[in-house]
Amino acid sequence: MSQHLSEQEIIRREKLGKLKEAGIDAYPAPLYPVSHFSADIKKEFSEETKDNFASVCVAGRIMSINDKGKVFFIKIQDSKGIIQLYVKRDDICPGEDKSFWDNVVKHGLDLGDIIGSTGFVFITKTGETSIHAQTITLLTKSLKPLPVVKRDEHGHVFDAVTDPEFRYRQRYADLIINPDVKETFVKRTKLINTIRDFLNGQGAIEVDTPVLQSIPGGAAARPFMTHHNTLDMPFYLRIANELYLKRLIVGGFDWVYEFSRNFRNEGMDRTHNPEFTVLEWYTAYKDYFWMMEVTEQLIEKIALALHGTTEVKVGETIINFKAPFKRLSIYDAIKENTGIDISEMNEDELRTTCKQLHIEVDASMGKGKLVDALFGEKAEYKYVQPTFIIDYPVEMSPLTKKHRSKPGLVERFELMINGKEIANAYSELNDPIDQRERFEEQVRLMERGDDEAMFIDYDFLRALEYGMPPTSGIGIGIDRLCMLMTNQPSIQDVLLFPQMRPERMEEQED
């Protein structure tokens, strides 16, 4: 295989060769005694505290080099920000031997290289907190130049690289040159930790359930399929973990939760990725009314943890996450946005209504999918402020308990924020006979051509026959919630490595 190199890449390899000839290891042993980080130095250094910074050791990636002859100003970026090094030849090489200065500092360093430095902190004449370097150590030679990014005199990016093909495919480079990207993922971690703290404080127990499943249950979705060689049978990547968590409720746990990595072999767009993360929890002896209240509390707590306020800017809109949230039945939501009451319509009437409203339908769609299409096309995007859409028709919800007072409906809600579903919750169906009948109806839909209909999980039915206490459960889309809380327009912006088509690499056979 031959590798096609740019002129800059060839030059950097030549520099690497010269460093080796001079006895300089461009990739030394990994231990380097970092003592301070850029942001901490800038925050804490002052005339009163300077004695605490008389000896510091820092490391980071070179983001700019200003060659003044016998003095270099080098800005390095560590995990917390950027700081300037004041590098003077006679400090780095105090004797007559200036070979290190010539071989490494003057002719060996490039943007993107990772270096370490020891020295003391001071403030330059221009007022910039800097490190007066006494030693420089090359820790990693960068062989590929970073994309050009424009920064102001303080190191702030004002002309970021925005090409999504580059940013999503080379996330490692994106993180280096676009500092706000890293902050998005720091907030994602804080969001998840806030949820964990909230649930653990309520007495919930975090669990793990199988990713490889013999039956893809718990949701209506098209699965990814693989083959288990030893067992000689097909397996599926999970589309949901719901049925396993309910088994644990049968087994005696009162409240379990899991951050579940799910996989659905479906389309990709601004809010959908085939691999995504969902938080699901199930709580015994609770219903969907209780679940709405707890969900409001959790979402409000997340907003406060990340922003210090319940009012969060999403795009050009301010969304207020202060509880309580608005509640509205799905039939009322459709009527509110179409002027049509579909609550008493049968399947044929719903299909006719969809066609009248120019909603694409086909023969495989039963009543549940028709209602879902009506809501999705005509109502869902209208609910920008947090709104619970409640009381769905039974045909849309094969795992949900029938409504205690409204025939034909189930006790279910979806939380809509910024025009998208963020959470889906039920009073869970625990009647094994009713559950079996609904699974069988899903099989009939599958026979009509619905490739998202559910399989029958006989082991789950057996578990229900032992008896599952009254239970409420919820699934919250972590990626979509992160989009909201970090003001990102696409799900790919909150996934470190989103799925993409394979890249055609430049290496070719000779």
Domains and CATH numbers, the chain: 7-146 (2.40.50.140), 181-325+385-494 (3.30.930.10)
Provide, for the chain, the percentages of residues in helix, strand and coil under a 3-state DSSP scheme, each rounded to the nearest 5. 35, 25, 40
Q: What value, to the nearest 5°, has the Cα angle with vertex 413 and ends 275 and 456?
A: 60
Q: Using one digit for the tens of pLDDT, what is the confidence trace for 11-40? A: 999 999 999 999 999 999 989 999 999 999
Q: Which residues are annotated as a binding site?
A: 414, 421
Look at residues 211, 209, 207 and name the one whose alpha carbon lies nearest to residue 223.
211
Q: Using one digit for the tens of pLDDT, what is the confidence trace for 150-188? A: 656 555 655 567 788 899 999 999 999 988 899 999 999
Angle between helices 458-466 and 432-447 (to 10 degrees): 170
Look at residues 199, 210, 294, 293 and name the one whose alpha carbon lies nearest to residue 255.
199
What is the Cα–Cα distance from 84 to 74, expressed in whole angstroms? 6
pLDDT of residue 456: 85
Look at residues 313, 318, 216, 282 and name the one whose alpha carbon lies nearest to residue 424.
282
What is the Cα–Cα distance from 432 to 461, expressed in whole angstroms? 6
Angle between helices 179-201 and 288-307 (to 10 degrees): 140
What is the Cα–Cα distance from 191 to 318, expressed in whole angstroms? 19
What is the Cα–Cα distance from 295 to 388, expressed in whole angstroms? 10
Q: Using one digit for the tens of pLDDT, what is the confidence trace for 482-502? A: 999 999 999 999 999 998 888
pLDDT(508) > 60: no
* Residues whose CB is less than 8 angstroms from the CB of residue 178 and which lie 6 or more positions away in sequence, other chains included: 149, 157, 160, 161, 167
What is the Cα–Cα distance from 122 to 49, expressed in whole angstroms? 11
Rounded alpha-carbon distances, angstroms, from residue 216 to 219, 246, 254, 372: 8, 15, 24, 22
pLDDT of residue 509: 44
Q: Using one digit for the tens of pLDDT, what is the confidence trace for 293-335? A: 999 999 999 999 999 999 999 999 999 999 999 999 999 999 9
Q: Using one digit for the tens of pLDDT, what is the confidence trace for 331-377? A: 999 999 999 999 999 999 999 999 999 999 988 898 988 999 999 99
Q: For residues 72 and 156, which has the higher predicted lDDT (pLDDT)?
A: 72
Portion of the chain with pLDDT greater than 90, in percent: 81
Query: If you search the block for the tokens 């930790």, which residue do you land on?
Result: 193
DSSP label of 127: S
Q: Which residues are annotated as a binding site for Mg(2+)?
A: 414, 421
What is the Cα–Cα distance from 351 to 366, expressed in whole angstroms? 9
